[in-house]
């Protein structure tokens, strides 16, 4: 059965390094109110399913979904929590719609990282408590450093290419009103910045920010009644590699390849490298963009760095990658990172990306990673 789900409304609030004037719930209320207005729906009458993507450890509250309904207009309505990245939340909503459970579904995810005093300690909870981390008094990004080193070795990619990702994305973000970490950098500045986990540097690592993002999704029949700015989800997939860190292939993103294979098959994508107008993909760390490009079949193995340096992935290149600035230029949004990738792609396909607008944008690829120490991510194929 072909996927027939439309994104009919989008809303967001925040996009700042700190939002002391707004609580998490107030951010969610603002974002959801804007999404409902954009879609032209009443959450109390028109929405049959609500999906939230959050993690108790980031919230500092157990059973966080108990605190979700009020600000979403979902009191006494069906609401489920997906403790994973936002693209997997989108997939959940798509399944609700395609199964007939709902005609209209809402997906929300957020980050209120400015309220978290010990983010590195929380990240450490994800590691194996015996073998992988808790006996090591190190920054949990050591795993990213190990992955980066292995990726560079296995692919033959030049070290400078990773720095160029950070240069490209922070520069793109200068045109994005949501670009909290926009900057005009050069490769030497990036490579000589403070070490995060050698060879990974601080300027090759995204910084978390606050925001809430909400999407309203609808069945094809319902979407056609809700306006003419629908963006269609043509394919979606997700995958998790082994949770045992020691068993993974650090040089290759298997979870990305598997998720993409499922999304491409569903959407009927033949040759990914020539199919898309743009791609918004994971760049939590600069090397991840190159690694993901190859796993997504947008470049052959070991070729992403050379294509980057030739300008292929520039905002005005043959295949713009992270024209928004990505997580390096805008900021990382914890479980909402996949929804941010999707938001930027939706705005492009609607022709509402402002100074970031890519001419004649027709099809977009969106990909996310849940972050350290996981090997979980999602891929979505969108079209207007």
Instruction: Give the domain range for residue 28.
Output: 5-117+208-223
**Number of Cβ atoms within 10 Å of the Cβ of 24:** 24
Mean pLDDT of all residues in 69-80: 93
Distance (Å, whole) CA 81 – CA 75 = 14
Write phi, then psi, for 273 (nearest 5 degrees): -60, -25
Share of residues in the chain with pLDDT > 70 (%): 98
| CATH number, position 30 | 3.40.47.10
How many CA atoms lie within 13 Å of 225's alpha carbon, on the beta-carbon side? 8
More confident residue, 4 or 31: 31
In a domain, 283, yes or no: no
Note the pLDDT tens digit of each residue in 9-57. Answer: 999 999 999 999 999 999 999 999 999 999 999 999 999 999 999 998 8
Note the pLDDT tens digit of each residue in 180-220. Answer: 999 999 999 999 999 999 999 999 999 999 999 999 999 99
| Predicted pLDDT at 135 | 58
In a domain, 217, yes or no: yes
Distance (Å, whole) CA 341 – CA 324 = 9
The total of structural domains in the chain comes to 1
Note the pLDDT tens digit of each residue in 241-254. Answer: 998 888 899 999 99
What's the DSSP call for residue 278?
Answer: E
What is the Cα Rg of the chain in Å? 19
Distance (Å, whole) CA 301 – CA 299 = 6
In a domain, 307, yes or no: no
Task: Evaluate if residue 134 carries a pLDDT over 70.
Answer: no
Reported as a pLDDT band with limits 50, 70 and 90, residue 2 is confident
Q: Is the entire prediction scored with pTM above 0.85?
A: yes
- Looking at every residue in the chain, the average pLDDT score rounds to 95
In a domain, 78, yes or no: yes
Residues pairing with 383 in the sheet: 232, 363
**Number of Cβ atoms within 10 Å of the Cβ of 252:** 19
Reported as a pLDDT band with limits 50, 70 and 90, residue 321 is very high
Share of residues in the chain with pLDDT > 90 (%): 88
Reported as a pLDDT band with limits 50, 70 and 90, residue 60 is confident
Distance (Å, whole) CA 110 – CA 53 = 8
Question: Which string of DSSP letters, residue by residue, matches 181-215?
Answer: T-----HHHHHTSPEEETTEEGGGB--B-EEEEEE
Reported as a pLDDT band with limits 50, 70 and 90, residue 374 is very high
């Amino acid at each position: 059965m072909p996927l027939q789900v439309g994104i009919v409304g989008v809303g967001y609030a925040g996009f700042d390094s700190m939002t002391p004037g707004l609580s998490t719930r107030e951010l969610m209320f603002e974002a959801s109110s804007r999404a409902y207005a954009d879609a032209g729906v009443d959450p109390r009458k028109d929405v049959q399913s609500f999906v939230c993507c959050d993690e108790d450890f980031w919230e500092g509250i157990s059973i966080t979904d108990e605190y979700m309904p009020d600000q979403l207009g979902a009191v006494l309505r069906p609401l489920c929590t997906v403790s994973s990245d936002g693209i997997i939340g989108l997939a959940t909503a798509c399944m609700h719609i395609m199964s007939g459970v709902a005609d209209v579904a809402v997906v929300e995810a957020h980050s209120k990282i400015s309220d978290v005093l010990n983010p590195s300690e929380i990240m450490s909870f994800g590691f194996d408590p015996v073998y992988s981390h808790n006996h090591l008094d190190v920054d949990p990004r050591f795993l990213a450093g190990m992955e980066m080193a292995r990726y560079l070795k296995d692919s033959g990619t030049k070290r400078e290419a990773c720095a160029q990702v950070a240069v490209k994305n922070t520069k793109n973000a200068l045109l994005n009103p949501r670009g909290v970490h926009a900057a005009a950098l050069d490769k030497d500045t990036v490579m000589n910045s403070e070490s995060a986990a050698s060879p990974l540097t601080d300027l090759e690592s995204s910084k978390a920010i606050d925001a809430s993002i909400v999407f309203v999704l609808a069945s094809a029949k319902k979407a056609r009644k809700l306006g003419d700015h629908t963006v269609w989800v043509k394919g979606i997939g997700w995958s998790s590699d082994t949770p045992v860190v020691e068993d993974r292939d650090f040089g290759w993103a298997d979870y990305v390849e598997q998720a993409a294979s499922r999304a491409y098959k569903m959407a009927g994508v033949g040759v990914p490298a020539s199919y898309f107008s743009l791609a918004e993909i994971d760049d939590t760390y600069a090397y991840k963009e190159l690694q993901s490009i190859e796993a997504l079949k947008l470049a052959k193995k070991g070729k992403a760095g050379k294509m980057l340096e030739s300008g292929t992935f520039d905002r005005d290149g043959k295949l713009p990658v992270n024209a928004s600035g990505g997580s390096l230029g805008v900021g990382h949004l914890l479980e909402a990172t996949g929804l941010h990738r999707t938001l930027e792609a939706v705005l492009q396909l609607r022709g509402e990306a402002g100074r970031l607008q890519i001419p004649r944008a027709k099809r977009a690829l969106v990909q996310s990673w849940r972050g350290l120490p996981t090997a979980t991510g999602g891929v979505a194929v969108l079209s207007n």
